[in-house]
Amino acid sequence: MRYPFREDDISGSIATRIKNRGILETVMKVLQLTVHFPPNTGGVETHLSDLVGELVKRKFDVFVLTYRPLVANARWKVWESKKNLKILRLPWIKGLYYKTIYNSILAFIYTFPGLFLALPFVILFFNPDVIHSHGVVAGFVGTIWGKVFGKRVIISAHNIYHFPKHGLYRQLVQTMFNKSDGVLTLAELSKNEVISLGVDRKKVNKFTYWLDLEKFRVIKSAKDKLGWKGFDVLFVGRLVTEKGIPELLEAAKSWDEGINLYIAGTGPLEQEIKNQKSKIQNMNYLGRVDNDNLPLYYSAADIVIIPSTHEEGFGRVILESLACGTPVIGSNRGAIPEAMDESVGKLIDVIPKNIRQAVEYYHDNPEKLANLARNTRTFAEEKYSNKNIDQIIQLYD
Protein backbone atom coordinates (compact mmCIF):
# COMPACT_ATOMS: atom_id res chain seq x y z
CA MET A 1 0.00 0.00 0.00
CA ARG A 2 1.19 3.53 -0.77
CA TYR A 3 0.76 6.53 1.45
CA PRO A 4 0.13 10.20 0.62
CA PHE A 5 2.78 12.79 1.40
CA ARG A 6 3.77 16.37 0.90
CA GLU A 7 6.82 17.11 -1.20
CA ASP A 8 8.60 18.73 1.75
CA ASP A 9 8.26 15.46 3.71
CA ILE A 10 10.74 13.80 1.36
CA SER A 11 14.35 14.86 1.02
CA GLY A 12 16.94 14.74 -1.73
CA SER A 13 16.71 12.97 -5.05
CA ILE A 14 13.51 11.06 -4.28
CA ALA A 15 11.49 14.25 -3.94
CA THR A 16 13.02 15.55 -7.18
CA ARG A 17 12.29 12.31 -9.00
CA ILE A 18 8.66 12.25 -7.87
CA LYS A 19 8.16 15.95 -8.62
CA ASN A 20 9.58 15.52 -12.11
CA ARG A 21 7.17 12.68 -12.77
CA GLY A 22 4.29 14.80 -11.64
CA ILE A 23 3.30 12.27 -8.96
CA LEU A 24 2.76 13.60 -5.48
CA GLU A 25 0.67 10.76 -4.04
CA THR A 26 3.12 7.87 -3.61
CA VAL A 27 6.22 7.20 -1.56
CA MET A 28 8.93 4.57 -1.54
CA LYS A 29 8.59 1.24 0.25
CA VAL A 30 11.82 0.15 1.98
CA LEU A 31 12.57 -3.26 3.44
CA GLN A 32 15.22 -3.19 6.17
CA LEU A 33 16.96 -6.57 6.44
CA THR A 34 19.15 -7.17 9.49
CA VAL A 35 20.33 -9.85 11.89
CA HIS A 36 20.07 -7.45 14.85
CA PHE A 37 17.34 -4.96 15.71
CA PRO A 38 15.91 -3.55 18.96
CA PRO A 39 15.17 -4.68 21.60
CA ASN A 40 18.58 -6.24 21.01
CA THR A 41 21.14 -3.69 22.12
CA GLY A 42 24.21 -2.23 20.46
CA GLY A 43 25.39 0.62 18.27
CA VAL A 44 24.06 -0.86 15.03
CA GLU A 45 20.70 -1.57 16.64
CA THR A 46 20.42 2.00 17.87
CA HIS A 47 21.32 3.30 14.41
CA LEU A 48 18.66 1.09 12.82
CA SER A 49 16.08 2.37 15.29
CA ASP A 50 17.04 5.94 14.33
CA LEU A 51 16.99 5.09 10.62
CA VAL A 52 13.56 3.46 10.74
CA GLY A 53 12.19 6.30 12.87
CA GLU A 54 13.39 8.97 10.47
CA LEU A 55 12.10 7.09 7.42
CA VAL A 56 8.65 6.76 8.99
CA LYS A 57 8.65 10.48 9.85
CA ARG A 58 9.42 11.22 6.20
CA LYS A 59 6.45 9.07 5.09
CA PHE A 60 8.40 6.11 3.80
CA ASP A 61 6.63 2.77 4.16
CA VAL A 62 9.03 0.52 6.10
CA PHE A 63 9.18 -3.22 6.77
CA VAL A 64 11.86 -4.65 9.09
CA LEU A 65 12.78 -8.33 8.79
CA THR A 66 15.06 -9.48 11.58
CA TYR A 67 15.57 -12.06 14.32
CA ARG A 68 14.44 -12.07 17.91
CA PRO A 69 17.10 -10.58 20.23
CA LEU A 70 20.06 -12.94 19.94
CA VAL A 71 22.06 -11.35 22.75
CA ALA A 72 19.94 -9.13 25.00
CA ASN A 73 17.58 -10.54 27.60
CA ALA A 74 14.61 -8.40 26.64
CA ARG A 75 10.94 -8.83 25.92
CA TRP A 76 10.16 -8.99 22.22
CA LYS A 77 7.28 -9.42 19.83
CA VAL A 78 7.23 -11.55 16.70
CA TRP A 79 5.02 -9.04 14.89
CA GLU A 80 4.48 -5.31 15.25
CA SER A 81 2.41 -3.14 12.96
CA LYS A 82 2.12 0.63 13.17
CA LYS A 83 1.40 3.35 10.67
CA ASN A 84 3.98 3.06 7.87
CA LEU A 85 5.95 0.45 9.85
CA LYS A 86 5.86 -3.34 10.15
CA ILE A 87 8.40 -5.44 12.06
CA LEU A 88 8.76 -9.22 11.80
CA ARG A 89 11.14 -10.83 14.29
CA LEU A 90 11.90 -14.44 13.48
CA PRO A 91 12.07 -16.83 16.45
CA TRP A 92 15.62 -18.24 16.51
CA ILE A 93 18.02 -20.14 18.71
CA LYS A 94 19.46 -17.82 21.34
CA GLY A 95 22.80 -18.11 23.12
CA LEU A 96 25.00 -18.97 20.14
CA TYR A 97 25.95 -15.50 18.93
CA TYR A 98 29.07 -15.03 21.06
CA LYS A 99 30.05 -18.66 20.40
CA THR A 100 30.07 -18.12 16.64
CA ILE A 101 31.03 -14.45 16.23
CA TYR A 102 34.77 -15.15 15.99
CA ASN A 103 34.35 -17.72 13.20
CA SER A 104 32.87 -16.20 10.06
CA ILE A 105 31.71 -19.58 8.71
CA LEU A 106 29.91 -20.57 11.93
CA ALA A 107 28.40 -17.10 12.25
CA PHE A 108 27.14 -17.36 8.68
CA ILE A 109 25.62 -20.81 9.27
CA TYR A 110 23.93 -19.54 12.42
CA THR A 111 22.38 -16.34 11.07
CA PHE A 112 21.82 -16.99 7.35
CA PRO A 113 19.01 -19.60 7.11
CA GLY A 114 16.13 -17.79 8.82
CA LEU A 115 16.47 -14.57 6.86
CA PHE A 116 17.04 -16.49 3.63
CA LEU A 117 13.89 -18.60 4.01
CA ALA A 118 11.67 -15.74 5.16
CA LEU A 119 12.70 -12.98 2.76
CA PRO A 120 10.95 -14.20 -0.42
CA PHE A 121 7.62 -14.37 1.41
CA VAL A 122 8.13 -10.88 2.82
CA ILE A 123 8.95 -9.57 -0.67
CA LEU A 124 5.76 -11.10 -2.04
CA PHE A 125 3.73 -9.64 0.84
CA PHE A 126 5.31 -6.18 1.06
CA ASN A 127 6.57 -5.66 -2.51
CA PRO A 128 9.37 -3.24 -1.57
CA ASP A 129 10.98 -0.77 -3.95
CA VAL A 130 14.36 -1.29 -2.30
CA ILE A 131 15.95 -3.81 0.06
CA HIS A 132 18.42 -2.27 2.49
CA SER A 133 20.62 -5.03 3.95
CA HIS A 134 22.78 -4.44 7.01
CA GLY A 135 25.97 -6.47 7.36
CA VAL A 136 27.44 -9.31 5.33
CA VAL A 137 24.91 -12.04 6.16
CA ALA A 138 21.91 -9.82 5.39
CA GLY A 139 23.83 -8.56 2.36
CA PHE A 140 24.05 -12.06 0.90
CA VAL A 141 20.37 -12.74 1.57
CA GLY A 142 19.23 -9.41 0.16
CA THR A 143 21.38 -9.66 -2.96
CA ILE A 144 20.24 -13.19 -3.83
CA TRP A 145 16.52 -12.59 -3.46
CA GLY A 146 16.71 -9.01 -4.69
CA LYS A 147 18.05 -10.19 -8.00
CA VAL A 148 15.44 -12.97 -8.23
CA PHE A 149 12.60 -10.49 -7.70
CA GLY A 150 14.18 -7.58 -9.56
CA LYS A 151 14.50 -5.33 -6.50
CA ARG A 152 17.06 -2.61 -5.86
CA VAL A 153 19.51 -3.73 -3.15
CA ILE A 154 21.65 -1.49 -0.92
CA ILE A 155 24.17 -2.97 1.55
CA SER A 156 25.45 -1.16 4.64
CA ALA A 157 28.82 -2.27 6.04
CA HIS A 158 28.83 -1.30 9.71
CA ASN A 159 32.19 -2.83 10.64
CA ILE A 160 35.76 -3.35 9.53
CA TYR A 161 35.56 -6.98 8.43
CA HIS A 162 39.17 -7.92 7.62
CA PHE A 163 38.15 -10.11 4.70
CA PRO A 164 40.66 -12.86 3.82
CA LYS A 165 43.12 -12.00 1.08
CA HIS A 166 42.34 -15.16 -0.90
CA GLY A 167 39.77 -17.92 -1.11
CA LEU A 168 36.11 -18.64 -1.77
CA TYR A 169 34.73 -16.42 0.98
CA ARG A 170 36.52 -13.38 -0.41
CA GLN A 171 35.20 -14.14 -3.90
CA LEU A 172 31.64 -14.51 -2.60
CA VAL A 173 31.80 -11.23 -0.70
CA GLN A 174 33.22 -9.49 -3.77
CA THR A 175 30.37 -10.85 -5.89
CA MET A 176 27.79 -9.81 -3.30
CA PHE A 177 28.95 -6.20 -3.21
CA ASN A 178 29.30 -6.01 -7.00
CA LYS A 179 25.80 -7.43 -7.55
CA SER A 180 24.26 -4.87 -5.20
CA ASP A 181 23.07 -1.51 -6.47
CA GLY A 182 25.02 0.46 -3.88
CA VAL A 183 27.23 0.05 -0.83
CA LEU A 184 27.29 2.26 2.25
CA THR A 185 30.31 2.30 4.57
CA LEU A 186 30.75 4.18 7.82
CA ALA A 187 34.36 5.17 7.51
CA GLU A 188 37.15 5.72 5.00
CA LEU A 189 38.86 2.58 6.31
CA SER A 190 35.75 0.52 5.60
CA LYS A 191 35.27 2.14 2.19
CA ASN A 192 38.82 1.27 1.19
CA GLU A 193 38.36 -2.29 2.46
CA VAL A 194 35.32 -2.81 0.22
CA ILE A 195 37.00 -1.20 -2.81
CA SER A 196 40.07 -3.40 -2.26
CA LEU A 197 37.87 -6.44 -2.97
CA GLY A 198 37.56 -5.24 -6.54
CA VAL A 199 34.18 -3.59 -6.04
CA ASP A 200 33.36 -0.76 -8.43
CA ARG A 201 34.47 2.42 -6.65
CA LYS A 202 31.40 4.29 -7.96
CA LYS A 203 29.14 1.96 -5.98
CA VAL A 204 30.78 2.60 -2.63
CA ASN A 205 29.62 5.58 -0.58
CA LYS A 206 30.24 6.81 2.95
CA PHE A 207 27.51 7.62 5.43
CA THR A 208 27.60 8.83 9.01
CA TYR A 209 25.53 7.89 12.02
CA TRP A 210 23.36 10.58 13.56
CA LEU A 211 21.69 11.17 16.90
CA ASP A 212 18.41 12.32 18.29
CA LEU A 213 19.98 15.50 19.64
CA GLU A 214 16.90 16.27 21.71
CA LYS A 215 17.25 12.94 23.50
CA PHE A 216 21.04 12.94 23.81
CA ARG A 217 21.65 16.26 25.52
CA VAL A 218 23.35 17.67 28.60
CA ILE A 219 21.31 16.84 31.72
CA LYS A 220 21.95 19.24 34.57
CA SER A 221 22.70 17.87 38.04
CA ALA A 222 23.11 14.37 36.59
CA LYS A 223 25.70 13.44 39.23
CA ASP A 224 23.30 14.32 42.01
CA LYS A 225 20.49 12.35 40.39
CA LEU A 226 22.66 9.22 40.23
CA GLY A 227 24.43 9.85 43.51
CA TRP A 228 27.85 9.86 41.86
CA LYS A 229 30.68 11.66 43.62
CA GLY A 230 34.27 12.30 42.71
CA PHE A 231 35.87 11.86 39.28
CA ASP A 232 33.73 9.40 37.30
CA VAL A 233 34.86 7.41 34.25
CA LEU A 234 32.19 5.61 32.21
CA PHE A 235 32.41 2.66 29.81
CA VAL A 236 29.36 1.75 27.71
CA GLY A 237 29.38 -1.22 25.37
CA ARG A 238 29.45 -4.97 24.87
CA LEU A 239 31.51 -6.77 27.49
CA VAL A 240 33.88 -8.60 25.17
CA THR A 241 37.65 -8.80 25.00
CA GLU A 242 37.99 -6.69 21.86
CA LYS A 243 36.31 -3.74 23.56
CA GLY A 244 39.39 -3.46 25.77
CA ILE A 245 37.75 -4.66 28.98
CA PRO A 246 40.85 -6.52 30.27
CA GLU A 247 43.08 -3.47 29.66
CA LEU A 248 40.56 -1.15 31.28
CA LEU A 249 40.25 -3.30 34.40
CA GLU A 250 44.02 -3.59 34.68
CA ALA A 251 44.39 0.19 34.44
CA ALA A 252 41.71 0.77 37.07
CA LYS A 253 43.58 -1.38 39.57
CA SER A 254 46.41 1.12 39.76
CA TRP A 255 44.94 4.53 39.03
CA ASP A 256 44.31 7.20 41.64
CA GLU A 257 41.87 6.00 44.30
CA GLY A 258 39.79 9.16 43.81
CA ILE A 259 38.77 7.94 40.33
CA ASN A 260 35.57 5.89 39.98
CA LEU A 261 34.92 3.48 37.11
CA TYR A 262 31.38 2.70 35.98
CA ILE A 263 30.79 -0.08 33.44
CA ALA A 264 27.48 -0.37 31.58
CA GLY A 265 26.70 -3.27 29.28
CA THR A 266 26.30 -7.02 29.02
CA GLY A 267 28.32 -9.79 27.45
CA PRO A 268 30.60 -12.79 28.06
CA LEU A 269 32.93 -10.88 30.42
CA GLU A 270 30.15 -9.89 32.82
CA GLN A 271 31.13 -12.43 35.46
CA GLU A 272 34.80 -11.50 35.15
CA ILE A 273 33.90 -7.88 35.86
CA LYS A 274 31.88 -8.88 38.91
CA ASN A 275 34.78 -11.00 40.14
CA GLN A 276 37.11 -7.98 39.92
CA LYS A 277 34.99 -5.93 42.31
CA SER A 278 36.99 -7.12 45.31
CA LYS A 279 40.24 -6.03 43.64
CA ILE A 280 39.01 -2.71 42.23
CA GLN A 281 37.27 -0.89 45.06
CA ASN A 282 36.12 2.08 42.97
CA MET A 283 34.68 -0.05 40.14
CA ASN A 284 30.89 -0.25 39.77
CA TYR A 285 29.08 -2.60 37.38
CA LEU A 286 25.80 -1.07 36.17
CA GLY A 287 24.59 -3.93 33.99
CA ARG A 288 22.37 -3.15 31.02
CA VAL A 289 21.31 0.50 30.93
CA ASP A 290 18.26 1.25 28.85
CA ASN A 291 19.02 3.46 25.85
CA ASP A 292 16.54 6.08 27.06
CA ASN A 293 18.49 6.41 30.31
CA LEU A 294 21.95 6.66 28.78
CA PRO A 295 21.94 10.49 28.48
CA LEU A 296 21.75 10.72 32.28
CA TYR A 297 24.81 8.49 32.69
CA TYR A 298 26.80 10.25 29.97
CA SER A 299 26.01 13.62 31.55
CA ALA A 300 27.05 12.41 35.00
CA ALA A 301 30.41 11.09 33.82
CA ASP A 302 33.49 13.31 33.76
CA ILE A 303 34.87 11.33 30.85
CA VAL A 304 33.82 8.36 28.73
CA ILE A 305 36.36 5.76 27.71
CA ILE A 306 36.38 3.57 24.57
CA PRO A 307 39.49 1.36 24.87
CA SER A 308 38.82 -0.92 21.89
CA THR A 309 41.67 -3.18 20.90
CA HIS A 310 40.12 -4.04 17.53
CA GLU A 311 39.22 -1.74 14.67
CA GLU A 312 35.84 -0.22 15.47
CA GLY A 313 33.51 0.44 12.56
CA PHE A 314 32.77 3.89 13.98
CA GLY A 315 31.97 3.97 17.70
CA ARG A 316 28.45 5.27 18.33
CA VAL A 317 29.14 5.76 22.04
CA ILE A 318 31.45 8.60 21.02
CA LEU A 319 28.60 10.50 19.37
CA GLU A 320 26.25 9.99 22.29
CA SER A 321 28.81 11.05 24.87
CA LEU A 322 29.80 14.22 23.01
CA ALA A 323 26.16 15.21 22.53
CA CYS A 324 25.75 14.96 26.31
CA GLY A 325 28.71 17.26 26.91
CA THR A 326 31.24 14.63 27.99
CA PRO A 327 34.73 14.29 26.45
CA VAL A 328 36.03 10.90 25.30
CA ILE A 329 39.26 8.96 25.67
CA GLY A 330 39.26 6.71 22.61
CA SER A 331 41.41 4.05 21.05
CA ASN A 332 43.49 5.23 18.11
CA ARG A 333 42.20 2.36 15.99
CA GLY A 334 39.72 1.74 13.21
CA ALA A 335 37.27 4.56 12.56
CA ILE A 336 37.40 6.08 16.04
CA PRO A 337 39.79 8.84 14.84
CA GLU A 338 37.19 9.65 12.15
CA ALA A 339 34.41 9.96 14.73
CA MET A 340 36.28 12.37 17.04
CA ASP A 341 39.39 14.48 17.25
CA GLU A 342 41.46 15.91 20.08
CA SER A 343 39.34 19.05 20.35
CA VAL A 344 36.82 16.86 22.23
CA GLY A 345 38.97 14.14 23.77
CA LYS A 346 42.16 12.16 23.53
CA LEU A 347 43.22 9.29 21.26
CA ILE A 348 45.56 6.68 22.72
CA ASP A 349 47.23 3.39 21.93
CA VAL A 350 45.41 1.01 24.23
CA ILE A 351 47.56 -0.55 26.90
CA PRO A 352 46.80 -0.35 30.64
CA LYS A 353 49.56 2.19 31.27
CA ASN A 354 48.25 4.59 28.61
CA ILE A 355 44.68 4.29 29.85
CA ARG A 356 45.74 5.05 33.41
CA GLN A 357 47.92 8.00 32.39
CA ALA A 358 45.19 9.57 30.22
CA VAL A 359 42.52 9.24 32.91
CA GLU A 360 44.79 10.56 35.63
CA TYR A 361 45.87 13.48 33.44
CA TYR A 362 42.31 14.79 33.19
CA HIS A 363 41.68 13.99 36.84
CA ASP A 364 44.69 16.13 37.77
CA ASN A 365 44.00 18.87 35.19
CA PRO A 366 40.29 19.74 35.42
CA GLU A 367 40.78 22.93 33.40
CA LYS A 368 42.02 20.85 30.43
CA LEU A 369 38.97 18.63 30.71
CA ALA A 370 36.68 21.66 30.92
CA ASN A 371 38.19 23.06 27.71
CA LEU A 372 37.34 19.82 25.91
CA ALA A 373 33.85 19.70 27.37
CA ARG A 374 33.06 23.17 26.01
CA ASN A 375 33.54 21.85 22.46
CA THR A 376 31.60 18.61 22.70
CA ARG A 377 28.00 19.65 22.11
CA THR A 378 28.82 21.91 19.17
CA PHE A 379 30.96 19.14 17.66
CA ALA A 380 28.02 16.72 17.86
CA GLU A 381 25.51 19.21 16.46
CA GLU A 382 27.71 20.01 13.48
CA LYS A 383 28.61 16.42 12.57
CA TYR A 384 25.83 14.18 13.84
CA SER A 385 22.44 15.73 13.13
CA ASN A 386 19.65 13.81 11.40
CA LYS A 387 20.56 15.49 8.12
CA ASN A 388 22.99 12.59 7.74
CA ILE A 389 20.12 10.33 6.74
CA ASP A 390 20.16 12.01 3.32
CA GLN A 391 23.42 10.14 2.61
CA ILE A 392 21.37 6.94 2.80
CA ILE A 393 18.12 8.03 1.19
CA GLN A 394 19.84 9.24 -1.97
CA LEU A 395 20.93 5.66 -2.70
CA TYR A 396 17.38 4.34 -2.41
CA ASP A 397 16.40 6.14 -5.61
Residue pLDDT, tens place only, 287-322: 999 999 999 999 999 999 999 999 888 889 999 999
Q: How confident is the model at residue 350 (pLDDT cuts 50, 70, 90)?
A: very high
**For residue 173, is pLDDT > 70?**
yes
- Domain ranges, ordered by start, for the chain: 7-207, 222-383
Tell me whether domains 7-207 and 222-383 share a fold.
yes
Question: Furthest-apart CA pair in the chain: how many Å?
Answer: 69
Comparison of pLDDT for 9 and 71, the residue scoring more: 71
Q: How confident is the model at residue 14 (pLDDT cuts 50, 70, 90)?
A: low
**For residue 3, is pLDDT > 50?**
no
Comparison of pLDDT for 29 and 2, the residue scoring more: 29
Q: Which CATH fold would you assign to the domain 222-383?
A: Rossmann fold (3.40.50)
CA atoms within 13 A on the CB side of 386: 16
pTM, rounded to two decimals: 0.90
Residue pLDDT, tens place only, 199-232: 999 999 999 999 999 999 999 999 999 999 999 9
Q: How confident is the model at residue 4 (pLDDT cuts 50, 70, 90)?
A: very low
Mean pLDDT of 106-133: 97
Q: For 139-172, give the DSSP string.
A: HHHHHHHHHHHT-EEEEEE-S-----SSSHHHHH
CA distances from 260 to 253, 302, 320, 322 (A): 11, 10, 20, 20
Position 27 scores a pLDDT of 81
Residue pLDDT, tens place only, 19-74: 444 444 458 999 999 999 999 988 999 999 999 999 999 999 999 999 999 998 88
Q: How confident is the model at residue 104 (pLDDT cuts 50, 70, 90)?
A: confident
Residue pLDDT, tens place only, 140-155: 999 999 999 999 999 9
Q: How far is Cα 324 from Cα 377, in angstroms, rounded to an integer?
A: 7
Position 131 scores a pLDDT of 98
End-to-end Cα separation, the chain, in angstroms: 18
State whether CATH 3.10.450.50 applies to domain 7-207: no
**For residue 370, is pLDDT > 60?**
yes
